[in-house]
Structure 1
Amino acid sequence: MPSARVGIIGAGIAGPVLAMLLKQKGYECVVYERLEEPSDQGLGIALQANGIAVLAKIPGLLDAIGGHSIDAFYFYSALPEDAGLLGTSEYPRHMRETTGHPLVTLRRPLMQARIIDFAQEFGVPVVFGHNMETLEQHDDGVTVAFANGVKETFSFVVGCDGLHSRTRACLFGDMPADYTGVTHCGGMSPTPEFWKGKRAPADIYGDGVYMIVLPLDDDITAWAISQREAEAKEDWRAIDEAAAEDFKKNSPFADWPYGAGELVKNSLKIIKYGIYDRPEPRSWHQGRVLLAGDAAHPISPHLGQGANQAYEDFDLLLELLEERNPSAEPPSTQTLDAIFTDLEHARIPRMSDLLQKARAQGEIGTVAGVEACMERNAMIRDMCSDPEKVKARFGA
């Protein structure tokens, strides 16, 4: 019997990875992307140990992705009443020594482009300019109709099309994600002298706000400021030039210490977007169609786990498929329903926990008032004294 044909919707940093994992198990996969070319949106991304463990199952992929190996995490306070270094953690170095893989950071658009190139060389078709409109399920397959008139039929479909998932809308209707009350304003900048040679991301905490500093290579550093504000769209687009110049010159963050002010003043571009999630994950599938990654469980970025959790989804999906459908032949709807249900039963509790932890970290970082901020700083100091607490801080 021929191999099952799988349609994967979305060619971000998740969909092509799933296609390669499935291809290794004998499935025939095609990835469809609504855009005409890979996106140039986004800033930096961090690959943590749990995500790297999955990517390592595709020979050569980690080398192709590359990235900037990090050695430590730093935590600073910019609060005048309690300023200074709160603590450091060598958790990244420990993970490299125990797992054989470094934790890495890199530019998100660059990572996406490298994954797509590798997937195509791996033999996975990645088809651009195909905006999915409808899904029609049959007893033995799923027909996907695209806006350009193309129709394709698959044994099953996985939606990896992000927060604004069209796949989700086809299954469950319009279900907007929840605004967390926090925005990100960020950019990419030449690395300040303060951060050169440190190879370490950092959190810098103020009153009602905190900044994430993420080195992308030796010369460029990404940064993002989290604060509680009125709702903003999640589109990752750069703000207009006049607004960006005003922010760089006149925002209070231009005077922050520890290289933070230099990052703001020298930013090459500035983007602003709201942070959204789904705090109570529910069903991720219907019949022969499954949601994965942000399409199923968008998570706020305060743990740095977004992409890594998509890869955890894939790892369990492959395990269940190998157990229930080892021949990679077209599975029955009953078999797929059992696989997808088992995946939900295992993954939804994990994601529910992480979603709450991510929201909590956002709330901790944006507490307001000197007394509350000093309590927050004390908690960070205590966390840095215990490697297990640091590990938990990042959802590992």
Structure 2
Amino acid sequence: MAPARVGVIGAGVSGPAMAMFLQQKGYAPVLYERLDAPSDAGLGIGIQNNGQAVLRRIPGLLEHIAGYEADEFHFYSVMPEDTALLGVSDHPRRLRAATGLGTMGVRRPALHARLVEFAQRLGVPVKFGHKLEGLEDKGDSVEVAFANGVKETFDFVVGCDGLHSNTRACLFGETPADYTGLSQWGGLSPTPEFWKGKRAPADIFDNGSHMILVPMSDDEMVWAISQREPEAKEDWRSIDQETADEFKKNSRFSEWPFGIGELVKSSIKIIRYGIYDRPELETWFKGRVILIGDAAHPTSPHLGQGANQAYEDVGLLIDLLEKHNPSAEAPSSETLTTVFSELVQVRLPRTAELVRQARKQGEMRVVSGVDACIKRNNFYREMCADPAKLKERFGI
């Protein structure tokens, strides 16, 4: 019999990986993206060891992504009352030495493009300009309708279309995203002299704000500053030049020590966006359609686990399909229910806890008042002195 046809919706962080795994296991996936090309929005992504563990199961993929490996994590305070290096952790270096996998940074637009390119190299059809508009479960198949008038029929569908998932809306209706109360200014900058050679993502703490910066190469870094502001739409695209110039010249961040002021002033791209998550779903599937990644469990970015949890979803889904449908032929409704139910049973509790931890981390980092800030700073001092506390920081 012919291999099962699978519609994969979304060619962002997780969709191409899902399609590649399906292709590798004998299925016939088709990858759909509502944009006309891989997205150029966003700044950077940290692919941690748990995400890399999944991606390396596709031979050559990690090498093709070509991320920039981190050696350490650094923690600084820039508040006048406690300006200091709070600590250094060599967790990434030790983890890579022990497992071959650590933490690597990659520009988000580059990651999208490289994933799509590798999927096409493996023979996955990729169709841009296809915005999902409707799903109709036919019992033994799913009819998918796109805004451009195209209709396709698949044996099952995997929704990988992110926070603003049309697949999720088709299955469970529109549910508003929850603004966490934090927004971010983010940028792409040449690496300041202070940071050259360090290969170290860093947390920077102030009174009422927090910055994370991540090296993307020897010569380029991305950064994001979290603070409490009125709601700002999350579109991950550049702000107008006048607003960017004002931020670079006159914001207090341009005066921060440890090379950070230089980082802000020299930015070649600045974006602003709100940080959102969504109410927890009771299940991620209905009939022959399942959600994974941010479509199922969107999270704020404070643990750096959004993409990595999506890859964990992908890895387990493909393992369960191989277990319950090793022929890769069109699965029965009963088989899909078993596969999807087992996935949700394992993954929903883990992702729900990480969503809670991520929001908690955001609340902990962005505190106001000198006493509260010094208490926060001391937590990171103690954490760096006690590697056992790293789990509380990273949640993995």
Q: TM-score, normalised by structure 1?
A: 0.98
Cα separation, 2, equivalents of 1:278 and 1:393: 22
Report how many aligned residue pairs link the two structures.
Answer: 396
**How well do the aligned residues superpose, as a CA RMSD in angstroms?**
1.0
Q: How far did 1:392 drift?
A: 3.7
Cα separation, 1, equivalents of 2:27 and 2:116: 18
Secondary structure of 1:242 counterpart: helix
Aligned 1:284-363 pairs, distance under 5 A? 284-363=284-363
Cα separation, 1, equivalents of 2:15 and 2:344: 18
Q: How far did 1:149 drift?
A: 1.3
Look up the match of 1:69. 69
Aligned 1:53-202 pairs, distance under 5 A? 53-202=53-202
Secondary structure of 2:148 counterpart: coil
Q: How far did 1:297 drift?
A: 0.5
Look up the match of 1:38. 38
- The aligned amino acid for 1:185 is W
Q: Residues 327-381 of structure 1, C-alpha deviation per residue, up to 9 Å, x if partnerless?
A: 1111111211121111111111101110111011101110100000010011111
Q: How far did 1:292 drift?
A: 0.5
- The aligned amino acid for 1:121 is R
Q: How far did 1:322 drift?
A: 1.4
Look up the match of 1:19. 19
Q: How far did 1:42 drift?
A: 0.5
Q: Residues 230-272 of structure 1, C-alpha deviation per residue, up to 9 Å, x if partnerless?
A: 1110101111111111111111111011111111111101100
Secondary structure of 2:342 counterpart: helix
Q: How far did 1:175 drift?
A: 0.7
Q: Residues 283-342 of structure 1, C-alpha deviation per residue, up to 9 Å, x if partnerless?
A: 111100000101001111110111000000011111211111111111111211121111
2:347 paired with 1:379: no
Look up the match of 1:50. 50
Look up the match of 2:258. 258
Cα separation, 2, equivalents of 1:282 and 1:212: 32
Cα separation, 1, equivalents of 2:395 and 2:138: 39
Secondary structure of 1:308 counterpart: helix
Cα separation, 2, equivalents of 1:191 and 1:160: 33
Look up the match of 1:273. 273
Secondary structure of 2:389 counterpart: helix
Look up the match of 2:213. 213
Structure 2 unaligned residues grouped into runs of 5+? none
Secondary structure of 2:85 counterpart: strand
- The aligned amino acid for 2:264 is V
Q: How far did 1:395 drift?
A: 2.2
- The aligned amino acid for 1:66 is A
Cα separation, 2, equivalents of 1:376 and 1:279: 28
Q: Residues 105-133 of structure 1, C-alpha deviation per residue, up to 9 Å, x if partnerless?
A: 01110111111101100111111011111
Q: TM-score, normalised by structure 2?
A: 0.98
- The aligned amino acid for 2:107 is R
Q: How far did 1:280 drift?
A: 2.7
Q: How far did 1:81 drift?
A: 1.0
Percent of matched pairs sharing the same residue: 63
Secondary structure of 1:64 counterpart: helix
Secondary structure of 2:249 counterpart: helix
Secondary structure of 1:81 counterpart: helix
Cα separation, 2, equivalents of 1:209 and 1:280: 27
Secondary structure of 1:185 counterpart: strand
Cα separation, 1, equivalents of 2:279 and 2:139: 33
Cα separation, 2, equivalents of 1:65 and 1:72: 21
Q: How far did 1:279 drift?
A: 4.9
Cα separation, 2, equivalents of 1:78 and 1:282: 42
Secondary structure of 1:19 counterpart: helix
2:243 paired with 1:239: no
Cα separation, 2, equivalents of 1:256 and 1:26: 54
Q: Residues 140-161 of structure 1, C-alpha deviation per residue, up to 9 Å, x if partnerless?
A: 1001011111111000000100
Cα separation, 1, equivalents of 2:367 and 2:292: 32
